[in-house]
């Protein structure tokens, strides 16, 4: 029993070390794994129809590749057009926040008789000062890393679709004789749960993005597609997703048409409809039971992961915990049968 636990511990430590070393590529690996899960079911029927494997992979990879190139080109053009006016927009945003806090301060004073000087405190934090050269350079390197990751996605997805099974077979053949079948069983259980979770997550993001994009378009917010996409991504973060989703549309409203309590209410209604549909329909049908963790454990794990590794870690921590649970359960069951 002790040998098993020490092996599990060593295995866990090795995986953690590999995870740490691969940290700059997590985004690329996550996105290519999602692409693999999405496209792999399309490759099988093409191969079954007699199409060669490489040609089948190229056929299914072409549409997402074209989509990615189009989105990247659009993003670069948008950034190039937007950069010259970023200073004016930040000043406008600062003024709007100051006005909002000033009116809030007045209301508090009229009701409670206490003045908090919120507007003065917010003015002390100058957003333009915050956007300094070093920060811009730092954000450029982050942007560079994201672009590198995005460039790697089609390449990694290609290799996953072509060589994943061969690599998996080779790795599993290293298992010792008495753990050969247990190893395969464990792999299969983890894969089934993980695939169900990640596929569900992908469809959840697409559905949430579509609903909120339409809602933002209806209430007249600028760039509804981009805001919908950001909401879809924020929705991937368990528990704190709805709060994160509020940030972009509210900032966009303040910087764009200006502060409007009616529009703020409309934004909240759109997000409530989106997340309500997500929680009542999408999650029960697509994600329920796929990881089977206690909500308190999941919430704690999400907060700790967010503190340690940011949003990508917050998205990944739940499936990782689910995997760990399956591995431990299968190992214990295997031990009990001996």
Partner 1 sequence: MNLKQRHLWQNPFRKNDPAATLLNAWRQTPLLTGIPASVCSKLVERTHLRQYSANEYLFREGEAGVSAAVIISGRIAICSGEHVIAELGPGDFFGESALLQDAPRSASAMALGNASVSFLVRFQLEEFVRHRPGAGLEIMTNLARLLVARLHRGNRGEDSDQASHLNGDLNNAGDRAP
Q: How far is the CB of 41 from partner 1 (least distance, A)?
A: 9
Decide: is 333 part of the binding site for partner 1 (CB under 8 A).
Answer: yes
Both tokens of 192, joined, read: 């089934």
- Residues numbered 73-132 forming contacts with partner 1, rule: CB under 8 A: none
Distance CA 183, CA 175 (A): 7
Q: Which of 2, 134, 178, 289 binds partner 1 (CB under 8 A)?
A: 178
Q: How far is the CB of 172 from partner 1 (least distance, A)?
A: 8
Decide: is 1 part of the binding site for partner 1 (CB under 8 A).
Answer: no
Q: Are 322 and 196 in contact (CB under 8 A)?
A: no
Binding mask 44-63 for partner 1 (x = CB under 8 A): x--xx---------------
Both tokens of 244, joined, read: 């994160």
User: Which range binds partner 1 by CB under 8 A, 6-14, 136-144, 170-178, 260-268?
Assistant: 170-178
Q: Rg for the chain (alpha carbons), in Å?
A: 24
Query: 103, exposed or middle or buried, with CB in 10 Å at 0-12, 13-18, 19+?
Result: middle
Distance CA 243, CA 103 (A): 23
Q: Which is nearer to partner 1, 108 or 182 (CB)?
A: 182
In the chain, which residue ranges form alpha helices assigned H by DSSP? 2-21, 26-48, 53-82, 86-112, 118-124, 127-130, 133-172, 180-219, 224-235, 241-255, 261-277, 295-336
Q: How far is the CB of 331 from partner 1 (least distance, A)?
A: 12
Q: How far is the CB of 12 from partner 1 (least distance, A)?
A: 22
Binding mask 181-210 for partner 1 (x = CB under 8 A): xx-xx-xx----------------------
List residues binding partner 1 (CB under 8 A). Answer: 44, 47-48, 165, 169, 173, 177-178, 180-182, 184-185, 187-188, 333-334, 337-338
């Amino acid at each position: 029993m002790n040998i098993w636990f020490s092996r599990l511990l060593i295995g866990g430590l090795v995986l953690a070390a590999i995870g740490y070393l691969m940290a700059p590529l997590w985004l690329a690996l996550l996105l290519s794994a999602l692409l693999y899960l999405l496209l792999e079911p399309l490759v099988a029927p093409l191969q079954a129809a007699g199409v060669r494997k490489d040609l089948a992979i190229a056929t299914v990879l072409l549409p997402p590749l074209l989509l990615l190139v189009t989105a990247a080109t659009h993003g670069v053009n948008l950034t190039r057009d937007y950069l010259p006016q970023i200073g004016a927009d930040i000043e406008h945003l600062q003024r709007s926040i100051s006005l909002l806090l000033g009116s809030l301060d007045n209301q508090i004073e009229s009701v409670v008789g206490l003045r908090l000087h919120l507007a003065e405190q917010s003015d002390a934090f100058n957003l333009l000062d915050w956007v300094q050269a070093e920060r811009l350079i730092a954000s450029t390197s982050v942007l560079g890393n994201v672009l590198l990751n995005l460039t790697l996605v089609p390449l990694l997805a290609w290799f996953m679709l072509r060589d994943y099974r061969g690599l998996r077979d080779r790795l599993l053949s290293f298992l010792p004789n008495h753990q050969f079948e247990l190893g395969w069983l464990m792999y299969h259980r983890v894969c089934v749960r993980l695939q169900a979770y990640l596929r569900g997550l992908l469809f959840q993001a697409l559905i949430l993005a579509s609903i909120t994009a339409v809602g933002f378009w209806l209430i007249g917010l600028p760039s509804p597609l981009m805001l919908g996409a950001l909401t879809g991504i924020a929705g991937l973060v368990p528990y704190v997703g709805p709060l994160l989703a509020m940030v972009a549309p509210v900032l966009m409203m303040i910087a764009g048409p200006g502060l409007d309590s009616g529009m703020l209410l409309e934004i909240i209604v759109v997000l409530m409809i989106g997340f309500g549909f997500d929680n009542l329909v999408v999650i029960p049908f697509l994600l329920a039971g796929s990881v089977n963790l206690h909500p308190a454990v999941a919430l704690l794990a999400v907060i700790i992961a967010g503190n340690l590794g940011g949003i990508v870690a917050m998205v990944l921590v739940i499936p990782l915990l689910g995997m760990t649970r399956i591995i431990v359960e299968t190992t214990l069951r295997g031990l009990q049968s001996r």
